[in-house]
Chain A
Amino acid sequence: MPNYLLMLYAPEVEPAEQAEREAEMPLWLELNESLQEAGLLVATGRLRPVETATTVRVRDGETELTDGPFAVTKEVLGGYYVLECRDLDEALEQAARIPLARYRGGSVEVRPIVDMSELDALRAAAAERA
């Protein structure tokens, strides 16, 4: 079954609104439990604020560090899920259950993850050609 990365984006909000969201914590825990029970949950995590980000680039062999995310946007990546789903429909259905999806400015980007066996096959094909 394919794996999907669900990226949780939302704008950073005022403390009052943030407090309202924190009050929803039981909903998140419930969601995580039910994903676990359904055998869909591979991994999940909440990210620290975007100010804690460091971006790494290697240019001409030199490592360059930037204090901050790779792109400054109003919506920031705040968390993620990796789910193992039957197909895209199931992944989209789960994405719609995430409380953040209904936040003002909140959205969940769903991206299929390349299957390891596919990578192995590509590697084998490349080796055969070489």
Chain B
Amino acid sequence: MSTGSERRPGADDPAADAVALTFREERAAVLATLIRHVGDFQLAEDAVQDAFASAVAAWRRDGVPANPGAWITVAARRRAIDRLRRDRSLADRAERVAELVRLEAQEEAAMSDESAIVDDRLRLIFTCCHPALDLPARVALTLRALGGLTTAEIARAFLVSEPAMGKRIVRAKRKIADAHIPYRVPEDEELLDRLRGVLRVVYLIFNEGYSASEGDRLVRGGLCSEAIRLGLLLRDLMPDDAEVWGLLALMLLHDARRAARIDGEGRYVALDEQDRASWDRGRIAEGLRALERAVRLRRPGEYQLQAAITALHIQAADAEATDWAQIAELYGALAQLNPSPVVELNRAAAVGFAAGPEAGLELLTPLLGEPALARYQPLHAAHAELLRRAGDLPGAERAYERAIALSANTVERAELESRLHGLRRRG
């Protein structure tokens, strides 16, 4: 975080600790409410930043307030008024200052209104994920506004320079203001569609942390944790949506195996070779409970199906005991709901385990001609695996070579190379 606080290592500083905690827990809610009050994303963000910066000194001097979030909200609103008064280029400046002063007078009432705060955070999510913003901007803005990551942290996570990421965020905020992207929860007929867009952004953040398509660090845990936090927030705000629960379940079930996916030397460990004892049982239980809640709402969707597939993997005692037939069936259902070559590939791999490598190859071979998958490393890795099991060792070798050439992730590449060497030793 960047509240301007200075922390001496090891020093006992309850005020700084309280500011850090409040920043993590309440910044998004305070920001969301202030955006509604001032009607300007950038102004609200600057004012909230000012308030956190001033909190350290104030709380050291006067002690930590009973309700730190309320203190920050009031301080941020005052900062916003100061900033508005100074800004002479705004046409409706006087009006907006008056409105804020009025709000300040009734701050007690506003603070106790829980439902208004909940609505504000939903408004903020839907605004950050508005389809008029391009996808990378939605992701960055959501992480910045709701996740509380700094621009530098987001830039590092997405392998973009800090100035470039800063520009992306500023541009998005300017478009929100200039194009009048509304600050509201979409109406009923749009809501489902727009919620799908929000879930997509959250899942993209999770995946970026989980599979890290580039670079040396296979797991960027920070992004996974942020995505799960967003998933939990959505669950609290929209508990009647099955896919909200489904996505949360999916993320928790993947995240439970995060530590087992890389070994002590930083090498990728395939699912069937993972140490199942190192999976996080608490997370798994939490994920399964979320999946159950989703299923009970009786509105099937793609995240629920993916979570159910992941649950079957996890619930098997070992790789051999996995219920591949049911997994293949779930992929079939997923393909009907959301046809995509990647889903077909996974179905082929599952069928390969359930009914033998030849049956898997029968489904996979047509995908080799699919232009969308031509440069998709997992297709060639799965192809190699099926050919090896079917006894076609030269074919398997060629497929591994193709997969290795396409791998952008050094950890994954090392794993593919060791499989290829194993094949050559045996052959």
> CB within 8 Å of B: which residues of A?
2, 85-89, 92, 110, 112, 115, 117-118, 120-122, 124-125, 128
| Chain A: CB-nearest residue to B89 | A125
Query: In residues 178-210 of chain B, which contact A (Cβ within 8 Å)?
Result: 178-182, 186
> Are the C-beta atoms of B91 and A118 separated by less than 8 Å?
yes
Interfacial chain B residues near A117, Cβ < 8 Å: 91-92
> Are the C-beta atoms of B180 and A88 separated by less than 8 Å?
yes
Q: Is there a chain A Cβ closer than 8 Å to B116's Cβ?
A: no
Assembled-state Cα–Cα distance A128/B89 (Å)? 10
Interfacial chain B residues near A120, Cβ < 8 Å: 91
Cβ contact of B182, chosen from A89, A115, A118, A122, cutoff 8 A: A89
**21 A-B residue contacts at CB 8 Å?**
A2-B180, A85-B180, A86-B182, A87-B181, A88-B132, A88-B181, A88-B182, A112-B178, A112-B179, A112-B180, A117-B91, A118-B91, A120-B91, A121-B89, A121-B90, A121-B91, A122-B89, A124-B88, A125-B88, A125-B89, A128-B88
A interface majority secondary structure: helix
Number of A-B contacts (CB under 8 A): 36
Most buried by B among A88, A92, A117, A124: A88
Interfacial chain A residues near B93, Cβ < 8 Å: 121
> Are the C-beta atoms of B132 and A92 separated by less than 8 Å?
yes
Q: Interface digits, B152-175 against A, CB 8 Å rule (1 contact, 0 not)?
A: 000000000000000000000000
Assembled-state Cα–Cα distance A88/B130 (Å)? 10
Which interface class (under 10, 10 to 19, 20 to 34, 35 or more) fits B? Answer: 10 to 19
Interfacial chain B residues near A2, Cβ < 8 Å: 180
State how many angstroms separate the Cβ of A124 from the closest Cβ of chain B: 7
> Are the C-beta atoms of A115 and B91 separated by less than 8 Å?
yes
| Chain B: CB-nearest residue to A111 | B179
Interfacial chain B residues near A88, Cβ < 8 Å: 130, 132, 179-182
Assembled-state Cα–Cα distance A89/B90 (Å)? 24
Q: Interface digits, B81-125 against A, CB 8 Å rule (1 contact, 0 not)?
A: 000000011111100000000000000000000000000000000
> CB within 8 Å of A: which residues of B?
88-93, 130, 132, 178-182, 186
The 5 closest A-B pairs by CB, nearest first: A121-B91, A87-B182, A117-B91, A125-B88, A87-B180
Interfacial chain A residues near B89, Cβ < 8 Å: 121-122, 125
| Chain B: CB-nearest residue to A112 | B179
Interfacial chain A residues near B179, Cβ < 8 Å: 88, 110, 112
| Chain B: CB-nearest residue to A128 | B88
| Chain A: CB-nearest residue to B131 | A92
Interfacial chain A residues near B92, Cβ < 8 Å: 117
Interfacial chain A residues near B181, Cβ < 8 Å: 87-89
State how many angstroms separate the Cβ of A47 from the closest Cβ of chain B: 24
| Chain B: CB-nearest residue to A116 | B91
Interfacial chain A residues near B88, Cβ < 8 Å: 121, 124-125, 128
State how many angstroms separate the Cβ of A90 from the closest Cβ of chain B: 8
Interfacial chain B residues near A118, Cβ < 8 Å: 91
| Chain B: CB-nearest residue to A122 | B89
Assembled-state Cα–Cα distance A121/B87 (Å)? 10
State how many angstroms separate the Cβ of A110 from the closest Cβ of chain B: 8
Assembled-state Cα–Cα distance A112/B93 (Å)? 21
State how many angstroms separate the Cβ of A94 from the closest Cβ of chain B: 14
State how many angstroms separate the Cβ of B43 from the closest Cβ of chain A: 15
Assembled-state Cα–Cα distance A128/B181 (Å)? 31
Interfacial chain A residues near B132, Cβ < 8 Å: 88, 92
Interfacial chain A residues near B91, Cβ < 8 Å: 115, 117-118, 120-121
Assembled-state Cα–Cα distance A75/B23 (Å)? 49
Assembled-state Cα–Cα distance A28/B70 (Å)? 53
| Chain B: CB-nearest residue to A110 | B179
Assembled-state Cα–Cα distance A113/B130 (Å)? 20
Assembled-state Cα–Cα distance A128/B91 (Å)? 14
Known: A87-B182, A88-B182, A124-B88. 16 other contacts (CB 8 A): A86-B182, A87-B181, A88-B130, A88-B179, A88-B180, A89-B181, A89-B182, A89-B186, A118-B91, A120-B91, A121-B89, A121-B91, A122-B89, A125-B88, A125-B89, A128-B88
Interfacial chain B residues near A124, Cβ < 8 Å: 88
Assembled-state Cα–Cα distance A87/B202 (Å)? 25
State how many angstroms separate the Cβ of A118 from the closest Cβ of chain B: 5
Interfacial chain B residues near A121, Cβ < 8 Å: 88-91, 93
Interfacial chain B residues near A110, Cβ < 8 Å: 179
Most buried by A among B90, B130, B179, B181: B179
Interfacial chain B residues near A87, Cβ < 8 Å: 180-182
State how many angstroms separate the Cβ of B331 from the closest Cβ of chain A: 34
